[in-house]
């Protein structure tokens, strides 16, 4: 058995404790809170090791692009693919254009950003795009995060994380 002789202080919110307790109850051996947190951290670390790269697809309002782009460059993102797309969300594009018009589904112009990142940038990129792209009104867009299996830089043949730097 692993020797447990390091004390780590942890202050958490009520919500966090509840989440941990809920998970604990799904485990057949009902681990203590500390044991539950140890297991979850280990899982998280293993997950990150197995999924070190992600592709973020962001559907945003076109007028937000310049600000998002500047912020991503600032973070250290090494490339962005941007396409003009059209789509609709749960309001079916309606109220975004004409309020109260016919009940017809309308595709609204958006930009689709594709950003491949290494683990160390994932959270910051997702948070940055979300914050900057939000106006608080319906139709602000969506972010999709997929884990990425392989990347190749065509010129050099470099692969994976090497190809993302």
Ligand X SMILES: Nc1ncnc2c1ncn2[C@@H]1O[C@H](COP(=O)(O)OP(=O)(O)OP(=O)(O)O)[C@@H](O)[C@H]1O
CB closer to Mg ion, 25 vs 99: 99
Beta-bridge partners for 142:
59
Q: CB of residue 4 vs ligand X: minimum separation in angstroms?
A: 45
Residue 64 DSSP class:
G
Query: Nearest 5°: phi and psi at 58?
Result: -120, 125
Query: Does 73 help bind Mg ion (rule: CB under 5 A)?
Result: no
For 2-156, where are the E strands, in sequence order?
Answer: 53-60, 81-87, 108-118, 141-147
88 binds, among Mg ion, ligand X, none (CB under 5 to 8 A by kind): ligand X
Task: Return d(Cα 132, Cα 153) in angstroms, integer.
Answer: 29
Query: Does 12 help bind ligand X (rule: CB under 6 A)?
Result: no
108 binds, among Mg ion, ligand X, none (CB under 5 to 8 A by kind): ligand X
Query: Does 68 help bind ligand X (rule: CB under 6 A)?
Result: no
SS3 track for 151-164: CECCCCCCEHHHHH
Query: Does 35 help bind ligand X (rule: CB under 6 A)?
Result: no
- Residue numbers of the site for ligand X (CB under 6 A)? 59, 87-91, 108, 110, 138-142
């Amino acid at each position: 058995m692993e020797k447990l002789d390091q004390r780590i202080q942890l202050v958490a919110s009520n919500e966090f404790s509840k989440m941990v307790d809920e998970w604990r109850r799904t485990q057949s051996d009902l681990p203590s809170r500390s044991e539950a947190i140890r297991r979850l951290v280990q899982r998280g670390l293993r997950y990150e090791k197995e999924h070190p790269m992600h592709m973020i697809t962001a559907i945003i309002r076109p007028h937000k692009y310049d600000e998002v782009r500047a912020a991503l460059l600032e973070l250290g993102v090494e490339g962005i693919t941007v396409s003009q797309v059209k789509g609709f969300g749960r309001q079916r594009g309606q109220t975004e254009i004409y309020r109260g018009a016919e009940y017809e589904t309308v595709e609204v112009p958006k930009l689709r950003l594709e950003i491949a990142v290494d683990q160390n940038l994932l959270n910051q990129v997702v948070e940055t795009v979300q914050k900057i792209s939000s106006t608080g009104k319906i139709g602000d867009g969506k972010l999709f995060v997929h884990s990425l299996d392989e990347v190749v830089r065509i010129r050099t043949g470099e692969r994976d994380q090497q190809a993302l730097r």
